[in-house]
Amino acid sequence: MTHPLRLVAVSGGMQRPSRTTALAEELLALIANEIPCEPRLVEMGRIAPQLAGATWRSNLPDTVERELAAVEQADVLVVATPVYRGSYTGLFKHFFDFIDQDALIDKPVLLAATGGSQRHALIIDHQLRPLFSFFQARTLPLGIYATDEDFVDYRLKNDALIERAGLAVQRALPLVELTRQMRTAAAVEAIAA
């Protein structure tokens, strides 16, 4: 029996509405249209007050612990952050500092970011890929970078960017399918044991 994949998106956006969250939701929807999955959105803006002062995972409230566990147990991740001073936001990094360093091994991760202009587009390759390489995750080949001009009323409106997002998802599907097959095989093996 095939179970839906656990698809989790993490948005580093601190506001609602947020272009970063809108991009994460768009990517979640594109993937959910292609494969059976259980999508979940983790929003930094929602958990920021409970996350900001913690120095140890044991200090975190249950609401934040549940979000961390969702990321660790995900089969596929989408991560999106706004650019802040040339990098991801501090709270975005602080959240991932609490993730178990072995929890994301071989996990497919679609990288995305938003910024005010194209000059920060390299955040995906210069900031996000190294972060998820530390976790030994499988960052997907195409990242998605969107500027303020790509949105109208917090909805993605740039046709070229929407096409690139679709292409990123299509190129990711073989790896996502491999992840699904491995999960199914592990479940069968566990039942047989």
pLDDT in tens, 30-79: 999 998 899 999 999 999 999 988 999 999 999 999 999 999 999 999 99
Between 89 and 188, residue with greater pLDDT: 89
Q: Please give the backbone phi and psi of residue 136, each rounded to the nearest 5 degrees, phi first.
A: 60, 30
DSSP class per residue in 17-51: S-HHHHHHHHHHHHHHTTS-EEEEEEEHHHHHHHH
Q: Which CATH architecture has domain 5-192?
A: 3-Layer(aba) Sandwich (3.40)
Percent of residues, the chain, with pLDDT higher than 70: 99
C-alpha to C-alpha distance for 61 and 105, rounded to whole angstroms: 25
Tell me what pLDDT residue 121 has. Answer: 87
Between 121 and 64, residue with greater pLDDT: 64
Side chain identity, residue 6: R
Percent of residues, the chain, with pLDDT higher than 90: 74
pLDDT digits (tens, 9 = 90+) for 134-177: 999 999 989 999 999 999 999 999 999 999 999 999 988 888 78
| pLDDT greater than 70 at residue 103 | yes
**Angle (deg, nearest 10), helices 62-73 and 44-51:** 130
C-alpha to C-alpha distance for 146 and 151, rounded to whole angstroms: 8
Per-domain residue ranges for the chain?
5-192
DSSP secondary structure code for residue 164 in this structure: H
Tell me what pLDDT residue 56 has. Answer: 94
Between 128 and 116, residue with greater pLDDT: 128
C-alpha to C-alpha distance for 3 and 188, rounded to whole angstroms: 12
Q: Give me the residue label for tokens 């509405």.
A: 17
The arithmetic mean of pLDDT across residues 9-23, rounded, is 94
Side chain identity, residue 113: A
| pLDDT greater than 60 at residue 1 | no
C-alpha to C-alpha distance for 1 and 190, rounded to whole angstroms: 13
